[in-house]
Chain A
Amino acid sequence: MISDRPHPRPEPSRRQVLGLLGIGGAAAASGCGALRLLGHDGTDDPNPLGVAAPSSVAPGRIGRAGTVDDRLLVVIELSGGNDGLSTIVPESGRLRDLRPGLLPDGLELADLIAGTQLHPALAPVRDRGLAVLQGIGSSVPDGSHFEMERRWWVGDGTGTGTGRGSTGFLGRVCDALAADAAIAGVSLGAGATPALRADHATTIGLPDPWAAWFLTEDGDSWYDSLRHGLRTLGAAAHNESARVRAARRGLDDALSFADVLRSIDDEEERGFPQTELGRQLRLAGGLLDSDIGLRVVHVPLGGFDTHDDQLGSHNSLMEELGGALAALQDDLIVRGIADRTLIATTSEFGRRPEQNGNGTDHGTAGPALLCGPVSPGLHGDAPRLDRLDDDGNLVATAMIEDYYATLAESWLGIPAAEVLARNANPAAEIIAA
């Protein structure tokens, strides 16, 4: 009836666009070149196993968790609203009715536990140790990306305030764990995130962590003068506005990060896939393994707002996620820090159970993936598909604060009340004590 339906639409990804611009490859090359300037000779590698390529290591599950005092946290933020129902898939006739043709092919699903299946791209992660906390959301959900992102960043599930100024949840974790560290928390791949805003701890966000190379040049008086000048510009002065203070702090953080970058070796691929997430998680492994007091790494992965063409785009996102996660799990084992590193995902919301065309609209509750020394399998209650809310969305079975309390209290040993405004019930059984 409609003669001029749109042509199948070519949707170039950000990376393809940059490819068109002819600039993606050059940046990757300059990143590698820059790192060779760091002068690392390999003799001070604290980990003698570091020479082994993780891909040659048989996947192994992480056992029990190491001591609480030096535990680390990696948070991967799936931004745009990950479709939890295509990530951890209930074996439900109701879901099949709501999602005709939009679920990953059932035959390829890998069993997680009876009654639930896992996106096939996450099978390698499951083989290395995967726990899932189900149904995380808000008692008063909101459909706005920005509102829900903000609530997740600051740790304010109900949107009623945290009473903690402009700090983010991860920033407060850094305050509690490593207020004096050179860098306590870092976000890789997209610049600063409100999630890492801290009162005292130094945190930094870097779209391209390799940009600090110029501050690592030694033996040139001009660079010495530049560093000295930048360091002095970054020192706080009296009677200055909050904006000027923020600008000086940025200068100071940049120099701190350059110091950190000097201390790590990043020349090997270490079995990571050649994806943006793989590149950032490879650096994350090196940073966590360095001796700088870093406790929290945040890495965003965008593209989950699948209003359209969900099956294809969600599948490729799961492949990027699964490949990079499994590589990080292997890398942490090789580095000998797997027993004290927890990898956890967040996403501002899940997606509506009923599909809309070949995509889905904004939803509410969703699952979180936890990798590391965890009790494998499903935790918490799955949201019920037969009892949706008035908007046709899932009703959360765990609050955002419950999940954050699990990370802070059960994993990092920080009393939940220290970093969260509301009472919460940590899912302590997830950690393999």
Chain B
Amino acid sequence: MHEDDVKAGFIFAQCTDPYLAVMERHEAVAHLLRRTTFGPRPGQVERLADRDLGELISEILDDRGDRAEGAAPPDVADDAETLVRWWINRLRDPRAGIHERMVWYWHGHFTTSLDRVSAEMMWRQHQRIRRHALGNFGDLAREIATDAAMLVYLDGSGSTGDNPNENLARELMELFTLGVGNYTEDDVKAGARALSGHWVDWERAEVHFEPDDHYDRPVRFLGERSRHDVDSVIDAVLAQPACARHVASRLHRHLVGLDPEPAHLDELAALFRDRDLEILPLVEAILRSDAFAGARRTRPRQPVEWLVAALPALGADDVEIDLWALERAGQLPFHPPNVGGWPDDDRWVDGSQVLERVNRVLDLGWREAIDTDVEADVDTVLARCGIWEVSPATRAVLDDAIRRQSEYDRGLELLLALTLTSPEFSLA
């Protein structure tokens, strides 16, 4: 859909050249940070601007999520709010990097909602995702297939050989591993039988396998007739060529903002398969591709991403997040709208998002939190928001706004309100 725009390089030129002009280098670093962290935070781009981009990518990828592991785990005790706030604070942590981004991604991929599971179950699933976020996709998929929260969310709990529930088997193939068109309705029915026999103990947030409830006769699943169980179902799914393609394509869309070109997807899928579905090499291949370097402002910031990036720009590092505002914006963490998660598309820059975002900037607590030492100057505000390449249209608006309002009459607040709702900041 937007591929032509990338080729044409509209408004933001492709830049992978190490001898870039100063502003272009700043923009290249900002682009990288926008996609691999929840920033950039004020001052961060300036500090990294003279670094070699290739080395910077290596450094970004050298993150196993242990940078902030000193943080205490949440005291969930069936309290949804504690868990939501705990994670948001991890996202806001200046040390949150590619590992946290991938935890964020997998939460949207292997979706489960607190609407249907307990906080304890969700926390256990979240720990699984944290462990494997940059590890092996097969390991992650296998653990998720017998995860209590997932079994409850997709009705795998209590699915028996006599009454197999199709929900988990269908979404496992449609959304998590293969994609539509790469399995049949018979595979869904067979998969449901093969996955049957699990019960979730709600109180202990644990899964029990009951052999008597498992369908133990042979079924034909993805072409192979045998007595299937969870492991053989996962093995069969992972072995499909469609699996590497589907996962690589979804991750590409998340990191790049666009569907991959078919030839590029072939390369990514082949690499992913050759590396036994290890996630880190796939992420690295995407980050080092020309498609990534050229894909400036091709990906709408999702509401949580927008908020976490906007807070430091507003000098609001200590402000507590308004969870209801995130819910209204359509993205309360651990509460995806459905099993499809939160798609990377234009919905995040529509009129309703604009209204919510201006509301957030105008929120009284935030206004007072804005650092009064920041100069009400267009370039200062743009840099503070991590924007180093600005369209003529947006610059004209900001120049005009500060002329109309003057720096002394809440000019800084006006510049921030307009910059944070501009296409340059709404898109990453």
Contact = CB atoms under 8 A, between A and B. Distances in A.
Interface of A: 1-2, 4-7, 9-14, 17-18, 20-24, 26-27, 143-147, 166, 190-192, 204-208, 211-212, 214-215, 221-222, 225-226, 228-230, 232-233, 235, 237, 239-244, 246-254, 256-258, 302, 307-308, 356-357, 359, 361-362, 391
A308 B202 CA distance: 15
Interface string B323-360: 11001111000010111100000110111111110110
A211 B352 contact: yes
Interface in B394-410: 394, 396-398, 400-401, 404-405, 409-410
B409 A191 contact: no
A254 B351 CA distance: 4
Contact of A230 (B10, B299, B418): B418
B328 A207 contact: yes
A361 B170 CA distance: 11
B358 to A, nearest CB: 6
Interface in B356-404: 356, 358-359, 362, 391-394, 396-398, 400-401, 404
A229 B354 CA distance: 13
29 contacts: A5-B199, A17-B80, A21-B81, A21-B84, A21-B324, A22-B81, A23-B324, A191-B330, A207-B329, A207-B356, A208-B352, A221-B405, A222-B409, A225-B405, A229-B400, A237-B393, A243-B2, A243-B257, A243-B427, A244-B297, A247-B427, A249-B350, A250-B350, A253-B351, A256-B351, A307-B167, A308-B165, A361-B165, A362-B166
A205 B349 CA distance: 11
B291 to A, nearest CB: 14
B300 A242 contact: no
The size bracket of the interface on B is 35 or more
A204 B352 contact: yes
A18 B327 CA distance: 9
Contacts of A191: 330, 347, 350, 352-353
Interface string B402-428: 001100011001100110011100110
A246 B213 CA distance: 51
B231 interface: no
Contact of B405 (A204, A215, A222, A233): A222
Contacts of B358: 214-215, 226, 230, 254
A20 B350 contact: no
B46 interface: no
A243 B298 contact: yes
B351 A226 contact: no
Given A144-B170, A243-B423, A246-B300, 20 more contacts: A2-B213, A4-B208, A7-B203, A21-B84, A23-B324, A24-B324, A143-B166, A192-B350, A204-B350, A204-B351, A207-B356, A211-B359, A215-B355, A226-B414, A229-B400, A232-B400, A235-B393, A243-B300, A302-B337, A359-B155
Nearest to A391: B185
Contacts of A4: 199, 201, 208
A225 B327 contact: no
B328 A307 contact: no
A247 B300 contact: yes
Nearest to A258: B355
B155 A226 contact: no
A233 B397 contact: yes
B202 A23 contact: no
B103 interface: no
A256 B354 CA distance: 12
Interface of B: 1-2, 5-6, 10-11, 79-81, 84, 114-116, 152, 155, 157-158, 163-167, 170, 174-175, 180, 185, 188, 199-203, 208, 210, 212-213, 257, 297-300, 322-324, 327-330, 335, 337-340, 346-347, 349-356, 358-359, 362, 391-394, 396-398, 400-401, 404-405, 409-410, 413-414, 417-418, 421-423, 426-427
B397 A17 contact: no
A13 B80 CA distance: 12
A229 B418 contact: yes
A308 B151 CA distance: 13
B157 A6 contact: yes
A385 B300 CA distance: 47
A351 to B, nearest CB: 12
B124 to A, nearest CB: 16
A7 B118 CA distance: 13
Given A243-B298, A247-B427, A356 B165 contact: yes
A27 B327 CA distance: 10
A5 B116 CA distance: 18
Q: Top 8 A-B pairs ranked by shortest CB distance?
A: A253-B351, A247-B423, A241-B5, A23-B324, A237-B393, A254-B354, A254-B351, A247-B349
Contacts, number: 239
A69 B231 CA distance: 61
A307 B2 contact: no
B180 A244 contact: no
B115 A14 contact: yes
Which of B335, B346, B355, B391 is the most central at the interface, judged by chain A CB atoms within 10 Å of its CB?
B355
Contact of A244 (B347, B410, B427): B427
Contacts of B339: 145
B414 A229 contact: yes
B254 to A, nearest CB: 15
A302 B393 CA distance: 40
Contact of A147 (B166, B180, B351): B180
Nearest to B188: A143
B422 to A, nearest CB: 6
Nearest to B404: A225
A246 B349 contact: yes
A4 B158 CA distance: 11
A11 B113 CA distance: 11
Contact of A190 (B174, B323, B330): B330
A18 B116 CA distance: 13
Given A143-B166, A208-B328, A230 B350 contact: no
B166 A361 contact: yes
A191 to B, nearest CB: 5
A253 B394 CA distance: 17
A18 B324 contact: yes
Contacts of A256: 351
Nearest to A11: B116
A256 B347 CA distance: 17
A414 B151 CA distance: 47
A17 B335 contact: yes
A229 B327 contact: no
Nearest to A31: B328
Nearest to A2: B210
A245 to B, nearest CB: 9
Contacts of B84: 21
Contacts of B212: 1-2
A229 B401 contact: yes
Instruction: Pick from A143, A191, A208, A230 the residue with the most CB of B within 10 Å.
Output: A191
B300 A192 contact: no
Nearest to B355: A211
Contact of B115 (A17, A205, A208): A17
A205 B152 CA distance: 31
Nearest to B353: A250
Contacts of B116: 11
A169 to B, nearest CB: 18
Contacts of A18: 324, 327
Nearest to B359: A211
A167 B1 CA distance: 13
B323 A308 contact: no
Contact of A225 (B166, B167, B201, B401): B401
B337 A190 contact: yes
Contacts of B297: 241, 243-244
Contact of B199 (A2, A145, A233, A246): A2
Contacts of B414: 222, 225-226, 229
